[in-house]
Every structure is written in structure tokens, then in C-alpha cells.
């Protein structure tokens, strides 16, 4: 009797535990990875918001993990008013060659808009 109990544990229960563990880790390893903010950038003005609002999903930016293709690379925009307009009302002037696909950030607090504008301005 004792032997039978052991046999069923090893031949039936343990394989399923193994399959369960494999499935669990397979799913975890295959989860899409959001751009993770490198330690140290959490306090950097501008950069921290670029991660919080995931600009890098659509824009290529000079920050780790930000390599989006939907919008233009953010670089050399030397016009604060234009950058602010792009954030608040992206549909007003759609950049040639790109779709009107950027969400509006008009609801952000003015201080955050300013922080983002300054950051994009100096890229």
C-alpha cells in the first residue's frame, strides 16, 4: 500500500507540478517588456516624465530603451512653442510623413508640460 501511494505521487502529481512551473515561467519570460527606467534617471527632470508617459513607445529618444518608430525621432527641435503645441494639440500640425497618432497631453499639470518642453528642446 505504501508503495502505491509513492508511485502515484511520482508518476502523476510531480509531472503536473513540473508542467505547471514550466508554463508559469514561460509566460513570465514572454511578457512584453515596457521600457524600464534605468536607476538614476528617476530624479532627472524631463527624462523621468519621458518614461512616465512612455514617449519612447513611439519616438526614438536619446534615452535607454526609447526606440519607437511611430513618430519622428525627437532631436533638434529648437522651438519651445512648437513643442508645447505638439504636446497639447498634436493634431494641429501633423508632421509630414507621419500619421496623426499622438495622444494629447493637454491634461498634464502646467509644470510637467514645461518640464517636458525643456527636455525635448535640449535634445
**Per-residue mark of binding to ligand HEC, 58-97 (x: CB under 6 A):** xx----------xxx-x--x-----x--xx--x---xx--
Site for ligand HEC in 41-60 (CB under 6 A): 53-55, 57-59
Distances (CA, A) of 98 to 9, 57, 84, 90, 101: 60, 15, 18, 12, 8
Q: Is 24 helix (H, G, I), strand (E, B) or coil?
A: helix
67 forms beta bridges with 60
Residue ranges binding ligand HEC (CB under 6 A): 53-55, 57-59, 70-72, 74, 77, 83, 86-87, 90, 94-95, 98-103, 105, 116, 120
Amino acid at each position: 500500500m505504501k508503495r502505491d501511494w509513492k508511485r502515484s505521487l511520482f508518476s502523476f502529481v510531480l509531472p503536473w507540478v513540473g508542467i505547471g512551473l514550466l508554463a508559469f515561467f514561460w509566460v513570465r519570460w514572454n511578457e512584453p517588456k515596457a521600457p524600464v527606467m534605468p536607476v538614476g534617471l528617476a530624479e532627472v527632470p524631463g527624462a523621468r516624465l519621458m518614461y512616465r508617459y512612455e514617449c519612447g513607445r513611439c519616438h526614438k529618444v536619446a534615452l535607454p530603451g526609447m526606440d519607437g518608430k511611430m513618430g519622428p525621432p525627437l532631436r533638434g527641435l529648437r522651438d519651445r512653442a512648437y513643442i508645447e503645441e505638439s504636446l497639447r494639440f498634436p493634431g494641429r500640425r501633423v508632421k509630414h510623413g507621419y500619421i496623426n497618432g499622438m495622444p494629447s497631453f493637454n491634461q498634464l499639470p502646467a509644470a510637467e508640460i514645461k518640464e517636458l518642453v525643456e527636455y525635448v528642446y535640449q535634445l
